[in-house]
Amino acid sequence: MDHQELALVLGNAIEQQDFDSALEQVKGMRPVDIADILAEISPALAWRLLDKIPDRAGIFSYLDIDVQMELAREYPRGNLARLIGEMPSDERADLYKQLDQEQKDALLPALAQAERENIRKLASYSEGTAGALMTSDYATLDGNMNVHEALAALRREAPDAETIYHAYVIDAQRKLVGVVSLRALILAAPGTLMHSLMISNPIHSQVNDDQEDVAKTIARYDLIALPIVDENGAIVGIVTHDDAMDVMSEEATDDFHKSGGVSTMIGNMKDVSIRVLYKKRVFWLVLLVFGNLFSGAGIAHFEDVIAANIVLVFFLPLLVDSGGNAGSQSATLMVRALATGEVVMRDWFSLLGREALVALCLGGTMAVAISLVGYWRGDTTVAIILAMSMMCVVLIGCVIGMSLPFILNKMGFDPASASAPLITSVCDASGVVIYLFIASQFLSLT
């Protein structure tokens, strides 16, 4: 049976409250697949199954935080404390942060002293930092251990450590001095000391570093885990490759949404409420309504020219859109290049020159296309007006689209806020003015 079939059989068994056969199914399944099924059934049924599975904490950790909260409300407090005690330290700190004060106060006394402190500590780091992402379940070694002793230590630490493939060598002050891979350990002679086997000065991040930088570091150095140190250089946690992958996906979604003019979205698109969707979207839309009044003002200024030459209106949306389209292309390229680190602030000037050349080529091509249409709908004058306007509009659109992400970055905003709607509105207003200005010059001559 493949995993989808397993899931179906399990779902049916649970629905029919046939827990013996459900348990039989669970044996062949991965925790994340079991969690997906539990999220679909009632909390009471979910608990009846979970209570029978040895790795319930692992499965519970894979549930969305909302589902965890829902389940937590339906579970006797003593059992819940035991479950939370067994969860990976990073996942349980995330759950703890979501509990209200009353739940926290009820939960903490039921936990062991060490767990209590661990939760409080991990929950204290601000969202989006390495501290909030890391787990404290890592393996450490002493520099004076030999390979034989180190392997024995790792065997002891294995049940609680998220990974033992990298172990961190620390001194008496828990200062991070090196990293030893399990690969190196099993290849080395039994008597080799960790001090000589370890890689000194290992790649690490600070506890307050941005989670995006942490993920980039893990990707750059192909790490399984990245050690996180405090201001004294003492190791306080590790971020594992799978968490880094989740962060990269989240940050990409975040940038994608921002560039489409949606504020940061939290949660799954399928489950998000109408109220949240409205709230995340209305800001930009209303702002842009007022931003667009500048286009209107531009038009008002040239009302006489338009009234005398209604044919100009025919090309208005087209010209104005072209600038916005070219500009949002430029912005798209720059936003993503800044996000992946391909491009940095100091590249702005050299990129601007190239962008201007590309814009001239693009504008030239589009000018040819539109002047043909202009000649057909109007006359040579209209064709010339359109060609000239198109060149200017595309050039200015590209320069705006390329520069805005840099300017926003410089001002401390996320460059992804240079969204398509924003670029479009800014380019539209300049497009209207350029087009009608050029038109008024030519038409007053004739």
Please, which of residues 400-429 interact with its own copies by CB under 8 A? 420-421, 424-425, 428
Q: Shortest distance, CB of residue 369 to its own copies, whole angstroms?
A: 5
Q: Which is nearer to its own copies, 362 or 399 (CB)?
A: 362
Near its own copies in 285-304, by CB under 8 A: 285-286, 288-290, 292-293, 295-296, 299-300, 303
Q: Work out which of 248, 352, 384, 443 binds its own copies, going by CB under 8 A.
A: 248
Q: Work out which of 67, 69, 110, 224 binds its own copies, going by CB under 8 A.
A: 224
Near its own copies in 192-221, by CB under 8 A: 201, 203, 218-221
Confirm or reject binding of residue 265 to its own copies (CB under 8 A): yes
Helix/strand/coil percentages in the chain, nearest 5: 70, 10, 25
Q: Work out which of 373, 375, 381, 437 binds its own copies, going by CB under 8 A.
A: 373
By three-state DSSP, how is residue 201 classified? coil
Q: Work out which of 277, 407, 410, 413 binds its own copies, going by CB under 8 A.
A: 277
Q: Shortest distance, CB of residue 103 to its own copies, whole angstroms?
A: 28
Confirm or reject binding of residue 127 to its own copies (CB under 8 A): no
If one counts every other C-beta atom within 10 angstroms of the C-beta of residue 385, the result is: 25
If one counts every other C-beta atom within 10 angstroms of the C-beta of residue 28, the result is: 12
Q: Work out which of 133, 141, 151, 179 binds its own copies, going by CB under 8 A.
A: 151
9-17, 167-175, 205-213, 255-263 -> range binding its own copies (CB under 8 A): 255-263
Q: Shortest distance, CB of residue 236 to its own copies, whole angstroms?
A: 20
Near its own copies in 40-69, by CB under 8 A: none
Q: Work out which of 262, 352, 384, 443 binds its own copies, going by CB under 8 A.
A: 262
DSSP state of 240: E
Q: Shortest distance, CB of residue 107 to its own copies, whole angstroms?
A: 27
Phi, psi of 228 (to 5 degrees): -115, 130
Site string for its own copies, 306-345 (x = CB under 8 A): xx--x--xxxxxx-xxx-xxx-xx-xxxxxxx--x-xx--
Q: Work out which of 23, 149, 257, 437 binds its own copies, going by CB under 8 A.
A: 257
Q: Which is nearer to its own copies, 120 or 155 (CB)?
A: 155
Report the alpha-carbon distance of residue 87 to residue 61 in Å, rounded.
7
Q: Work out which of 75, 284, 348, 406 binds its own copies, going by CB under 8 A.
A: 284
Report the alpha-carbon distance of residue 335 to residue 354 in Å, rounded.
16
Report the alpha-carbon distance of residue 48 to residue 287 in Å, rounded.
51
Q: Which is nearer to its own copies, 78 or 275 (CB)?
A: 275
Q: Work out which of 259, 403, 417, 430 binds its own copies, going by CB under 8 A.
A: 259
CB neighbour list of residue 292: distance below 8 Å, 6 or more residues apart: 425, 428, 429
Would you list the DSSP string of 256-322?
Answer: HHHHTT-----S-TTT--HHHHHHHHHHHHHHHHHHTHHHHHHHHHTHHHHHH-THHHHHHHHHHHH
DSSP state of 358: H
96-104, 126-134, 170-178, 356-364 -> range binding its own copies (CB under 8 A): 356-364
C-alpha pair distances (Å), 427 with each of 119, 280, 324, 400, 401? 50, 24, 5, 7, 8
Task: Identify which of 60, 58, 59, 87 has the alpha carbon closest to the alpha carbon of residue 71.
Answer: 60
Task: Identify which of 395, 385, 390, 398 has the alpha carbon closest to the alpha carbon of residue 440.
Answer: 385
Q: How far is C-alpha 409 from the chain's CA centre? A: 17
Q: Which is nearer to its own copies, 119 or 343 (CB)?
A: 343
Confirm or reject binding of residue 99 to its own copies (CB under 8 A): no
C-alpha pair distances (Å), 418 with each of 225, 250, 319? 33, 19, 21
Q: Work out which of 8, 18, 32, 171 binds its own copies, going by CB under 8 A.
A: 32
Q: Which is nearer to its own copies, 80 or 440 (CB)?
A: 440
Amino acid at 16: Q
